[in-house]
Amino acid sequence: TPAERESIRQHPKVPLGVRPNQSPIETLDRSGHYSGMAADYVALLRERLGLEFETKSVIGWPELAARLKLHELDGAALISPNDERGRYLVFTRPVLLMPWVIVTASGAPAVGGLRDLRGKRVAVTDASAAHIVLQERFPQITLLTVRSDADGLEAVAEGTAFAHIAPLAIVSPLVQQQLGSSVRVAAQASEISAELVFGIRDDWAMLRGILDKGIASLTEEDHAAIRNRWLGLTYRLTVDW
């Protein structure tokens, strides 16, 4: 629309907050090279919409949330929507689905879902979607907040935590490459939304509408190319649910 084109003209650069060690979702190396599934989607939307995205490194969700609330950043790519984040963001239509899973030690008792973790100590990355859901809906679970999913998996392997909860695509390569048979994906955490979206600062809803049009223009071939590039090995992981 003319209003959307004017909005793009007035805001030609869109700063996106990037958590640099979230492979295969997104990574940002020291030279500023942005890669991963989010980077591929951002590149496609740049081509379709004429938007210029600027990547800004953040340490983790606490910093990302703080800078989005202050409007120092305009958005974040491929995040999980939830009510808490909806207080300061508007969300695009879903871009893709990415299940969250429960990882336990290989010899741990079987679990079928988050309810089976009541009374246990569970590692979650600070301010992640899992952190928010468990804090709000499962007060009987003792939370161990960690800085990264690698730290959470290490806590499970060492016995500091009974389980770690994270997106399957992130933990699968970490399990395969670093921890071997000491931990396993035990169940899906279905209470956490599998949808991944773009989150946009709440005072710029027009950008959400512009991105929605770009996302709607993506073909199944576009999605398949990104999935095949980044998830080919991830989804060969055997899971027990």
pLDDT (tens digit per residue) in 76-133? 999 999 999 999 999 999 999 999 999 999 999 999 999 999 999 999 999 999 999 9
Please write down the HEC assignment for all residues of the chain: CHHHHHHHHHCCEEEEEECCEECCCEEECCCCCEECHHHHHHHHHHHHHCCEEEEEECCCHHHHHHHHHCCCCCEEEEECCCCCHHHCEEECCCCEECCEEEEEECCCCCCCCHHHHCCCEEEEECCCHHHHHHHHHCCCCEEEEECCHHHHHHHHHHCCCCEEEEEHHHHHHHHHHHHHHHEEEEEECCCCCCEEEEEEECCCHHHHHHHHHHHHCCCHHHHHHHHHHHHCCHHHCCCCC
Question: How does pLDDT run across 5-50, given as a tens digit for each residue?
Answer: 787 778 779 999 999 888 899 999 888 899 999 999 999 999 999 8
The predicted structure's pLDDT at residue 11? 79
Residue 227 clears pLDDT 60, i.e. is over it: yes
Residue 236 clears pLDDT 60, i.e. is over it: no
Residue 234 clears pLDDT 60, i.e. is over it: no
The predicted structure's pLDDT at residue 238? 41
Mean pLDDT (the chain, rounded): 91
